[in-house]
Amino acid sequence: MDVRLVICGLGRVGQAFVGLLIQKDRDLQTRYGLNLKVLAAVDIGGAAVSAEGLPLKDLHAHLQKGGRVEDMPGFGKKGLTGKEALSTLPADLLVETTPTNIKDGEPGMTHIQTALSHGRHVATAAKGPLVLRYKELKTLAEKFKVKLMISAATAAALPTLDVGLSCLAGTEVLSAEGILNGTTNYILTRMHEDGSPYGEALAEAQKMGVAEPDPSLDVEGRDTANKILLVANEVFQAGLSLQDVAVEGITKVTLQGIQRAKEEGKVIKLIGKVEKKDGRILASVAPMALAANHPLASVRGTEKAISYLTDTMDRVTVSGGKSNPLGAAAALLKDIIRIYSF
């Protein structure tokens, strides 16, 4: 089956996705019967376009050298927007990897709305549109009978949603607890294991590239809040907004607090949580002192994990997965395979 793609966003995740398509081309055809053709690769200054499908090795090499898509020899079109590409090209699916924007969701919001309203499936790594207008986008997908797949927006390679939606089918999910941000988990691990003060652990994370120069999205708990909100709305059908999530980050966690927890045989982790309580669905983010036998207590460094509690299967926990552009790209590819294989 030929599947025609438009990729919007050719930053680190978008480039990793193109590289993955090259690497997995034969496997996709032999195992899944999928021949993925990229009709357009769109970025901020324009696009590279081919009705027959772009030569991906040439595109990848061009991007790796620092080239812009609109300057790709023989295929570049300056000024062509994602909305125009999705409105005019005979694409089957949008792969959305533009930077996350929690203020208004753009440009991903426009790309996703355009794709869905033209009857095109969407696999997205951008959290902004989903956090801001999840219900509207889901309704639009249902109206045009297409899929909106969001695995890459919820902890990248960690199969956060797959477990909750597929592996736990037939159960009642009572709660979900997750370590969903690798930066904060790295900082707390250094504080717990090595006695590093918060500022020192943060500086080390920044030096290693684990934390951004402005780490506020991570350390204030907002990245975890975005992800646990999506878990709440996908797995629990909660219909929540960001304003419904109580959020506390790790900036007030001290070595004294870490030490007190250790003396009690506990470890402090930043936990995103969804739970059913008194007929309501509640979502929160906060540092929690976990007992040593808690399944999330042993999750170290930049690792992430999610633990579901159910009525019939008891507790099911999954951890690991790459916390990098390749991990997000792999999640996008997984979602595409799921669209056409199930």
Active-site residues: which are they?
Answer: 227
Quote the DSSP letter at residue 118.
T
Strands 121-124 and 93-96, bridge-based pairing: parallel
Q: Which amino acid is at 20?
A: L
Long-range contacts at 132-141 (CB < 8 A, ≥ 24 apart): 132/102, 132/104, 132/105, 132/242, 133/105, 133/109, 134/229, 134/230, 134/233, 135/233, 135/239, 137/112, 137/113, 140/113, 140/116, 141/116
Strands 245-247 and 93-96, bridge-based pairing: unpaired
Name the residue with tokens 């590093």. Answer: 196
d(CA 227, CA 115): 23
How many helices (H) and strands (E) are present in the chain, helices listed first?
A: 12, 13
Length of the chain: 342
Long-range contacts at 252-260 (CB < 8 A, ≥ 24 apart): 253/188, 253/191, 253/198, 253/287, 254/198, 255/191, 255/195, 255/197, 255/198, 258/188, 258/191, 258/192
d(CA 256, CA 133): 40
Q: Which amino acid is at 217?
A: L
DSSP string, 4-72: EEEEE--SHHHHHHHHHHHHHHHHHHHHH--EEEEEEEEETTEEEE-TT---HHHHHHHHHTT--GGGS
Nearest CA to 172 among 180, 184, 164? 164
